[in-house]
Amino acid sequence: MATTIESKGVPTWFWAVAVLALLWEAMGCWMYVQQMSMSAEAFAALPQAQQDVWNQSPGWVPAAYAVAVWSGLAGAVGLLLRKAWCRAFFVLSLLGIVVQFGTVFLMTDILASMGPAQAAGFPIFIFIVGAFLVWFSGLAAKRGWIA
């Protein structure tokens, strides 16, 4: 049984995914704090296209961003604690991701100003990671790794 932790019955790769999830979500929270506390000078130093998109976004987009990252962090902590409630937080995080980026893509000219590849690449990756964590936490619950 080299691939499981004997006392828990959980594969060692579960812990690797859980730690990576925590690091990913912590990075998202750090980026949120950096963006929300950005000085006027730092904002002025951003490329004009990025400034335009941020200025065109509705005021509630940062709230969706906060829901996405902070509930994701709670989900990752829950995953490490092997708690089934982590899935609810990952679902909430994914909904925050959809609202945040959906709004930005539908209510701003981000695709025209930044181009599809530059504008959509990382948000698509973020969505895929969020969807993976929802799926993974469901798999972990199904297999009894979290309760």
29: in domain = yes
The number of distinct structural domains making up the chain is: 1
Residue 5, pLDDT > 80, answer: no
Q: How confident is the model at residue 49 (pLDDT cuts 50, 70, 90)?
A: confident
- Asked if the model's pLDDT at residue 135 lies above 70, the reply is yes
CB atoms within 10 A of CB 18: 25
* Segment 38-50 mean pLDDT: 92
Mean pLDDT of 22-44: 96
Residue 104 lies in a domain: yes
pLDDT of residue 8: 58
Q: Integer distance in angstroms from the first to the last C-alpha of the chain?
A: 22
Distance CA 140, CA 82 (A): 9
Containing domain of residue 81, as a range? 9-142
Sign of CA dihedral 125, 70, 25, 18: negative
Q: Is residue 1 part of a domain?
A: no
- Residue 3 falls inside a structural domain: no
Q: How many residues are recorded in the chain? A: 147
Residue with the larger pLDDT of the pair 12 and 117: 12
Q: Is residue 34 part of a domain?
A: yes
Q: Under a CB-based contact definition with an 8 Å cutoff, are residues 115 and 47 in contact?
A: no
Contact between 81 and 131 (Cβ < 8 Å): no
Q: How far apart are CA 104 and CA 83, in angstroms?
A: 33
Q: Each residue of 81-111: pLDDT tens digit?
A: 999 999 999 999 999 999 999 999 898 888 8
Q: Is residue 115 part of a domain?
A: yes
Whether residue 69 is contained in a domain is answered as yes
With tokens 């962090």, the residue in question is 73
* Helix, strand, coil share of the chain (percent; to 5): 75, 5, 20
d(CA 110, CA 107): 9
pTM of the predicted model as reported, rounded to 2 decimal places? 0.90
Q: What's the confidence (pLDDT) of residue 146?
A: 97
The answer to whether residue 147 is domain-embedded is no
